[in-house]
Amino acid sequence: MMKVVFLCKGTRGDVLPLLSIAIAYKHEHIADDVVVVCTASSIAGVEESLAQEGIQIISSLPKVVVSTDAAKLQLLKHEASICYQACISAKLVVFNLFSLEGYFIAQELSIPCIATSPFLLNRTPPTGFKEKLSQELPDLFQALTSSYTSGEVVSYAEVDHWMWRLFLDDYGSVCDHLGLSSTTPLSDVSLPPSTTLLYGISSILSPRQPYWPKSVHLCGYWYPPLVLQGSPPAGLSTMVEQFTKPLVYIGFGSMEGFMLDVNWATLFTVLNTALKEVNMEGIFQCKENGRIQKTFDKLSNELHNLRLWSLVAPHQWLFQKCAAILHHGGSGTVATSLLAKRPQLICPVMFDQEHWAEIVVWKNLGVRLSPANNLTVEELRTKLTLITNTEMNDSIDCVYTEIVKENGVKNALIEIDKILHK
C-alpha cells in the first residue's frame, strides 16, 4: 500500500482536472491512500462525493481575501505547512503550478514528484532572469546549461519552461518557514532527475513543440468524471427550461477580477440587443454578489433576452443545453465546449487565451470577438449568425471524434506509474 498526495490550489478550473486524475488513480489502486490538499471553494458541492470515492480531502485555503504582499506570504506559509504535513510518508507528490511548494517539500523528503497543468504555460522568465541566475549562481547555471539536452537530469530547458517560478523570493521564505535544508530549488553539486510536467491539453489542438524539454508530456484533456460535476441546482434547471429560443452561454470565469475596465452596463446592452436581433437568448454566469451581478440587477427589467446565474454550474451539463458558448478562451472552457460539440465565441482577456482563440478560429471551431469593451451589436450579431453554418459543425464533430480517443486521464496515469515504479 502506498500513499500518493495531490496538491492543487486555484480555481475550480485549476483543481478539478487534477482531481480527475486522483479519482482515476484511486480506482486503479484501491489499496493505496490518496490524499488531496486543495482550495476549499474549488470543491464546493462535491466534497461528499469525493469522500465516497475514498479520497481524503484536506482543504488548505480558508475563505479569506488577502490584499497585501505580507498577508499573501503568510497565507502561502500557512498552506505550505499543511502541504508538508500531508506529504510525510508519501511515495509520490503530484502538484499543480499554483502549489509549487510541493516541489520543495518533495525534494526535502526525498520523494519523487510530478508537476501538472491543465493550461499551457506561455509566460517566459522575467526579463534579466537568465543573466541574474548566471551571476548569482554561476556553478548551478553552468551545470544546468551543460545538461541541456541529456533529458536525464534537470536542465536549463526545464528552468526556462516552468521551473523559473521556483526561484521567486517567496518560496525562499516558505522554505525557511518550513525549516527545509535548502531554500533554493536546485543545487549545482548534484542536479536531480528531471521533474515530469504533465499538460492536460490535447495534441489535436495544440501539438507538442519540438523545443520543449523531454520531461514535458501532452496527455490530452482531463475531463472531470460525473462525480466531480455535481447535479445542476434546481434553480438552474428551472431557468434553463424556461428559455424558448436557442440559448447562448456567456461567462468569463476567473477573468472577472481582471476585467476592471469593462463597462458592464454597456456590455449587457450589447449582448441583449444582439441576441434579440438573431432570435436567441443568453444565460450569463458570474460570481455571486459582485459588481457584475449588481450592474445586471439594475438593468434586469430591460434585458429581456438575457438572464443571470451567479452560482456554481456544472458546465458539461449546461453546455449541452446551449446552442453556443461565449467565453474568455480558458483552455478548460475550450475543452468543455468541444466535449459538448458546441461552437465557441471567444473574447480573450489575458494569459493563454489569445492562443486558444487562434486555435479555435484556425480549426473552424468558432470565432474570435473583439475585447469586451469594444464589442458592438453589429459584430456580435454577425458572428452569432456565422457560427450556425454546417461547415463549422462538421469541423467540431471531426475534432470531437479525435479528442475523445485521447483519454488524457489514462495517459496521465501511465506517466504516474512510470515514476512510481522506476
Q: Establish how many alpha carbons lie within 13 A of residue 398's alpha carbon, considering only the half-sphere containing its beta carbon.
A: 11
pLDDT (0 to 100) of residue 105: 93
* Phi, psi for residue 21 in degrees, rounded to 5: -70, -40
Could you give the CA distance from residue 127 to residue 131 in angstroms, rounded to a whole number?
A: 9
Percent of the chain with pLDDT over 70: 96
Q: What is the pLDDT of residues 67-115, one digit of tens each?
A: 677 777 788 888 889 999 999 999 999 999 999 999 999 999 999 999 9
Q: Do domains 3-220+407-420 and 232-405 have the same CATH topology?
A: yes
Q: Name the residue ranges covered by the structural domains of the chain.
A: 3-220+407-420, 232-405
Give 244-271 pLDDT, tens digit per residue: 999 999 999 888 888 889 999 999 999 9
Question: What is d(CA 350, CA 1) in angstroms, rounded to the nearest whole number?
Answer: 43
- Give how far the C-alpha of residue 154 lies from the chain's centroid of Cα atoms, to the nearest Å: 25
Distances (CA, A) of 219 to 122, 204, 274, 326: 18, 11, 39, 26
Position 64 scores a pLDDT of 52
Q: Using CB atoms within 10 Å of the CB of residue 404, give its burial: 0 to 12 exposed, 13 to 18 middle, 19+ buried.
A: middle
In the CATH scheme, what is the homologous superfamily, with its name and number, of domain 232-405? Glycogen Phosphorylase B; (3.40.50.2000)
291 C-beta neighbours (distance < 10 Å), count: 13
- In Å, what is the CA distance from 69 to each residue of 76, 91, 102, 170, 263? 10, 34, 21, 10, 29
Name residues whose C-beta falls within 8 Å of residue 175's C-beta, 6 or more positions apart in sequence.
Answer: 104, 182, 183
DSSP 21-90: HHHHHHHH-TTSEEEEEEEGGGGTTTHHHHHHTTEEEEEEE-S----SHHHHHHHHHHHHHHHHHHHTT-
What pLDDT, in 10s, does the model give residues 184-193?
788 766 788 8
Asked if 292 and 257 touch (Cβ cutoff 8 Å), the reply is no
- 3-220+407-420 classified as CATH 3.40.50.2000: yes
Q: Is the pLDDT of residue 390 over 90?
A: no
Please give the pLDDT value at position 388: 80
List pLDDT tens digits, range 30-76: 999 999 998 888 887 788 888 889 999 987 555 555 567 777 778 88
**What is the DSSP secondary structure assignment for residue 223, as one 8-state letter?**
P
**Cα–Cα separations (whole angstroms), residue 264 to 182, 269, 274, 330, 373:** 48, 8, 15, 20, 8
